Structure 1
Amino acid sequence: MNLFTELRALVIDSLTQMVAEGVLPEGLDFKNVAVEPPRDAAHGDMATNAAMVLAKPAKMKPRDIADALAAKLAADDRIALAEVAGPGFLNLRLAPALWQGLVKAVLEQGASFGRSDMGQGDKVNVEYVSANPTGPLHVGHTRGAVFGDALCSLLDYAGFDVTREYYINDGGAQVDVLARSVYLRYLEAHGEKVEFPDGTYPGDYLVAVGEDLKAKVGDAYVGKGEDIWLDEVREFSTEAMMDLIRADLAALGVEMDVFYSEKSLYGTGKIESALESLENKGLIYEGVLEPPKGKMPEDWEPREQTLFKSTEHGDDVDRPVKKSDGAWTYFAPDIAYHYDKVSRGYDQLIDVFGADHGGYVKRMKAAVSALSDGKVPLDIKLTQLVRLFKNGEPFKMSKRAGNFVTLRDVVDQVGAGVTRFVMLTRKNDAPLDFDFDKVLEQSKDNPVFYVQYAHARVCSVLRKATEGGVAVDDPTLAGADLSKLDHEAELAVAKKLAEWPRIVEIAARTHEPHRVAFYLYELASDLHSLWNRGNDLPELRFLQEGDAATSQAKIALARSVAVVISAGLGILGVTPLEEMR
């Protein structure tokens, strides 16, 4: 039940009647007509921009359209008041029965309330985390993992067919560095004293990998050259790191559908096939790039390379795909990987990158546009840095990782649910401050506590009602006399509940799961406000002594809040709490 969609349909129907009656000219396009919450709640329950967007194409004054539309809408039982304001804004107040009916709908639909078929089953591939398999996930990866996972759940909730994908960057030189680092730990396991040169990975997390390698091969590689052990140690080390990464993700509640290896692109013809596809479209050529803007690097020299004509698909400059020495650039396997995704039949692609990948956005969008002939959109979401604090001071703590704070460090300190919620309290492209003390603080300033407290409060009411002999199962509450919910504070909560289906669709359309976290905080605030007003006005309390019927109506409202909070937390990957401890 989406009241905003329902009321927009009423507005469109009324406008269609006005065209039939000659009040409006024929041929008007209603696609930009919207019904939304007003900017100021004092102006009404909903507002429509119909008169403002139709005035110019209709060659009429907005006020004249608004007056005629208001008269039409006022005749509908759902509309208590249709009021024209200013040059042609139309504010609507809805009949209380609509809000009361919405509470009933939430209880009847349960977790399905707010689900949408907007996606119509379109296949979406979301690639996220995709850290180099050279160590445990750090706090920066944590934000990308949480954002990507919540986005997947949101898209699924909105009716898309979602694939969660991890791209294993195991095709570059960093995996050789990993193998050499593990080899040093392997020698250490054999009692040798070793030193880690600059550029290797000295973290303690490789100690166990070196010992496992010793258990597998004994002393077979001791004193041997890289030509003997590098390939096998690279494979062994990469798999060990992926086991570690999978365990890190599981600790955060993230489970991938696909792990795709970059290495599988090399020597298999996949890179060549992707570039051949672009070449057949006239987008691959041999040329010399213009010198970079700004200060000229001393080692720069003009040289002929194999280039992708990415400027034909929105990029600033054409991009090299093969170096002058015949080696692939980093961009070439990325093109092949996205060609593979396009070939798998996805309708949309979404990549979640760290902030340091900003320069990669235009070239990747150009590549996907060219590979799919513009049919498959690619959205790239950048996640900004996370700054860690404890007691208000910058915080570092992981010796195990070498020089960074790991995902496990964070989850072990505050829990997966708190970590996930806090990571979604800012838009993905805004920096995030994560204070270990504040995220565990029990106050309104801590959004995760505030939302969880609202859910726990409702559960407490349900327990007390049951102990008092009042039936509070959802079917009973849905059948209660909800006309008893007539106070402005109660209706305000119902109005906030009505926004949930709309928020889901907006958040899914914009790929912004943080909107769900923001909404949950606002809904929790309305519930807490109603609770607190009950301290002064006994008639607003959820439990009415000796009046089971009225209690059930009021508890129905509270329970519907818990249903929506539970659904929203589910999208964010957070388990709702029934008690606060």
Structure 2
Amino acid sequence: MNLFAEIRALVISALDDMVAKGELPQGLDFTAVAVEPPRDAAHGDMATNAAMVLAKPAGQQPRQIAEGLAGRLMADPRVAGADVAGPGFLNLRLDAAVWHSLTRAVLLAGKEYGRASIGQKQKVNVEFVSANPTGPMHVGHVRGAVVGDALANLLAFAGWDVTREYYINDGGAQVDVLARSAYERYREALGLEPEIREGLYPGDYLIPVGEALKAKYGDSLLDKGEQYWLAEVRDFATEQMMAMIREDLAALGVRMDLYSSEKALYGTGQIEAAIQRLRDMDLIYEGVLEPPKGQLPEDWEPREQTLFRSTAHGDDVDRPVKKSDGSWTYFAPDIAYHYDKVSRGYDQLIDIFGADHGGYVKRMKAAVSALSGGKVPLDIKLIQLVKLFKGGQPFKMSKRAGTFVTLREVVEQAGADVTRFMMLTRKNDVALDFDFDKVLEQSKDNPVFYVQYANARINSVLRKAREAGWIVEDATLSGVDLSGLTHPAELALIAKMAEWPRLVEIAAKGNEPHRVAFYLYELASDLHSLWNRGNDELSLRFVQDSESASLPKIALARATGVVISAGLAILGVTPVEEMR
């Protein structure tokens, strides 16, 4: 039940009637007509901009349209009031029976309440994490993993067919560095002093890899030239690192549907095929790029390269795909990888990248636009940095120095649920501070505690009711007479629940899972507000002296819990039933 969609349909029907009666001209486009919560709750339950967006194309004053619309809406029993405000906004007040019906609908729908079909089963690929397989995941990867996984949950809830994909960056020079670093740990396992020279990965996480190499190869690789062992050690170490990364992701509650390898693109003709596809469209040419803007580097010299005409698809400059020495640039395999995703039949692609990939956005969008003929949109979400604090002091990290804070350490100290929720308390393109002390404190300032506490309070109500011998299953509560729920605080809580289906659609359309976390905090705030009012007004307490007086209020509490649980499921967070 999407109440906002229902009332919008009512508004559109009234507008159609005004057109039929000649009060509005034919041919008006109602696409921009919206029904949404008012900015100020004192103004009503819902507001529509219909008169404002139709005034100019209709050639009429907004208030004239709004007044005609108000009269028609008032004829519907669901509408208790329709007031024209300002230049022509129309504020609506709904009959209390509407809110009672919605509470009943939530209880009947259960976890399906708010589920949408706007995705229409379109196939969407969400690529996220895609960390280099050179070590365990660190806190810099956590936020991208959470955002990507929550977004995938959200899109699935809104009707998309979602694939979670991890792109293994195992085709570059960094995996050779990994192999050399692991080889030194192999030497260490054999009793020799490792030579962790500058440029290698010094972290202790490679010690078990060295032991595993010893177990597999004995001393057969010792004192041999790199050409004899580099490829084998590289593959072995990469597999070991990917196993570690999978375990890290599992600790955070993230499971991928598909892992794709960059290395698999080389020597298979896939890169060549993708570039040829662009060449066939006259988008590949031999040319010389303009020098970089600003100060000219001393070592810059004009040289002919193989270029992708990305400016034809919205980029600022054309991009090299092959170097002057004939080797592929880093961009070329990325083109091939996205061409593969397009070829697999996805209707939409989403990439979750770190903030340092900002320069990659336009070129990658240009490539996908060209390869798909403009039919497959690519949305790239950039994830800003997470700053860790503990005891008021910032945590520092350096992947090469081996002193970084790992994902596993964050999860072990804060817990997967707390970590996931907190990573979604800011929009992805805003930096986030993660203070271990604050994320675990029990206060209103801690969003995850505040939401979980609301759910725990609801469960405490249900426990008390069961102890009293009352039947408080959803099927029973949905049949209770709810007409006694009349207090503004009770109706405000129901009104907030009514926003959930609309919120799901807005968040899914914008690929913005953080909106779910924001909404849950607001819903929890309304629940706590009503709870606290009960301390002074006994009639507002969820558990009353009698079963008949209690069950409507318990139904309200339980419905709120249904919505909280649904929202937390999208975030990948387990609802807490009891605070300890």
Which TM-score bucket, shorter chain as reference? over 0.9
SS of the residue corresponding to residue 515 of structure 2 reads helix
Aligned residue for 1:479? 479
SS of the residue corresponding to residue 249 of structure 2 reads helix
Matched, 1:93 2:106: no
SS of the residue corresponding to residue 198 of structure 2 reads coil
Aligned residue for 1:227? 227
Matched, 1:459 2:459: yes
Write the distance in 1 (CA, Å) between the matches of 2:219 and 2:6: 73
Write the distance in 1 (CA, Å) between the matches of 2:396 and 2:468: 51
Cα distance, 1:399 vs structure 2: 10
8 A contact 2:201–2:400 mirrored in 1: no
Aligned residue for 2:571? 572
CA separation of 1:28/1:399 partners in 2, compared to 1, >3 Å: closer, same or farther?
closer
SS of the residue corresponding to residue 233 of structure 2 reads helix
Note the residue ranges of structure 1 that are not aligned, 5 or more in a row.
none
Q: Give CA deviations for 1:471-506 in whole Å, capped at 9, x if unaligned.
A: 100011000011111111100100000000011000
Report the AA paired with residue 13 of structure 1.
S
Report the AA paired with residue 265 of structure 1.
L
Q: Give CA deviations for 1:302-327 in whole Å, capped at 9, x if unaligned.
A: 00000000000000000000001100
Report the AA paired with residue 458 of structure 1.
I
Write the distance in 2 (CA, Å) between the matches of 1:500 and 1:550: 27
8 A contact 2:84–2:91 mirrored in 1: yes
CA separation of 1:399/1:4 partners in 2, compared to 1, >3 Å: closer, same or farther?
closer
Aligned pairs for 1:340-359 (under 5 A) are: 340-359=340-359
Aligned residue for 1:554? 553
Aligned residue for 1:166? 166
Report the AA paired with residue 79 of structure 2.
I
Aligned pairs for 1:84-123 (under 5 A) are: 84-123=84-123
8 A contact 1:136–1:401 mirrored in 2: no
Aligned residue for 1:242? 242
8 A contact 2:200–2:400 mirrored in 1: no
Q: Give CA deviations for 1:525-567 in whole Å, capped at 9, x if unaligned.
A: 000010000010110011111x212211000000011100001
8 A contact 2:63–2:88 mirrored in 1: yes
Write the distance in 1 (CA, Å) between the matches of 2:310 and 2:412: 45
Aligned residue for 1:390? 390
Write the distance in 1 (CA, Å) between the matches of 2:380 and 2:549: 51
8 A contact 2:199–2:400 mirrored in 1: no
8 A contact 1:347–1:377 mirrored in 2: yes
SS of the residue corresponding to residue 47 of structure 1 reads strand
Write the distance in 2 (CA, Å) between the matches of 1:192 and 1:380: 47
Q: Give CA deviations for 1:366-395 in whole Å, capped at 9, x if unaligned.
A: 000000010000000000000000122112
Cα distance, 1:469 vs structure 2: 1.2
Aligned residue for 2:422? 422
Q: Give CA deviations for 1:50-70 in whole Å, capped at 9, x if unaligned.
A: 000001111011110001000
Write the distance in 2 (CA, Å) between the matches of 1:569 and 1:171: 37
Report the AA paired with residue 334 of structure 1.
D
SS of the residue corresponding to residue 63 of structure 1 reads helix
8 A contact 2:455–2:561 mirrored in 1: yes
Q: Give CA deviations for 1:274-317 in whole Å, capped at 9, x if unaligned.
A: 00100000100000000000111111110000000000000000
Taking structure 2 as the reference length, the TM-score comes to 0.99
8 A contact 1:169–1:261 mirrored in 2: yes
Write the distance in 1 (CA, Å) between the matches of 2:481 and 2:352: 48
Write the distance in 1 (CA, Å) between the matches of 2:450 and 2:406: 27
Aligned residue for 2:305? 305
Q: Give CA deviations for 1:323-381 in whole Å, capped at 9, x if unaligned.
A: 01100000000000000000000000000000000000000000000000100000000
8 A contact 1:135–1:401 mirrored in 2: no
8 A contact 1:35–1:48 mirrored in 2: yes
Q: Give CA deviations for 1:430-463 in whole Å, capped at 9, x if unaligned.
A: 0000000000000000000000000011001100
More off after superposition, 269-278 vs 390-399: 390-399
Matched, 1:45 2:54: no
Report the AA paired with residue 67 of structure 2.
D
Write the distance in 1 (CA, Å) between the matches of 2:412 and 2:154: 26
8 A contact 2:55–2:62 mirrored in 1: yes
Matched, 1:177 2:212: no
Aligned residue for 2:147? 147
Aligned residue for 1:318? 318
CA separation of 1:154/1:33 partners in 2, compared to 1, >3 Å: closer, same or farther?
same
Aligned pairs for 1:469-508 (under 5 A) are: 469-508=469-508
Aligned residue for 1:405? 405
Write the distance in 2 (CA, Å) between the matches of 1:527 and 1:349: 38
Cα distance, 1:398 vs structure 2: 9.4
Aligned pairs for 1:430-441 (under 5 A) are: 430-441=430-441
SS of the residue corresponding to residue 389 of structure 1 reads strand
Which aligned runs of 4 or more in structure 1 are off by greater than 6 angstroms?
397-401
CA separation of 1:45/1:125 partners in 2, compared to 1, >3 Å: closer, same or farther?
same
Write the distance in 1 (CA, Å) between the matches of 2:457 and 2:43: 31
Cα distance, 1:403 vs structure 2: 2.4
Q: Count the aligned residue pairs.
A: 580
Matched, 1:79 2:56: no
8 A contact 1:51–1:88 mirrored in 2: yes
SS of the residue corresponding to residue 328 of structure 2 reads coil
Write the distance in 1 (CA, Å) between the matches of 2:72 and 2:222: 87
Write the distance in 2 (CA, Å) between the matches of 1:2 and 1:43: 21
8 A contact 1:459–1:578 mirrored in 2: yes
Write the distance in 2 (CA, Å) between the matches of 1:397 and 1:266: 33
Write the distance in 2 (CA, Å) between the matches of 1:13 and 1:353: 44
SS of the residue corresponding to residue 482 of structure 1 reads coil
Write the distance in 2 (CA, Å) between the matches of 1:215 and 1:491: 67
Cα distance, 1:86 vs structure 2: 1.1
Taking structure 1 as the reference length, the TM-score comes to 0.99
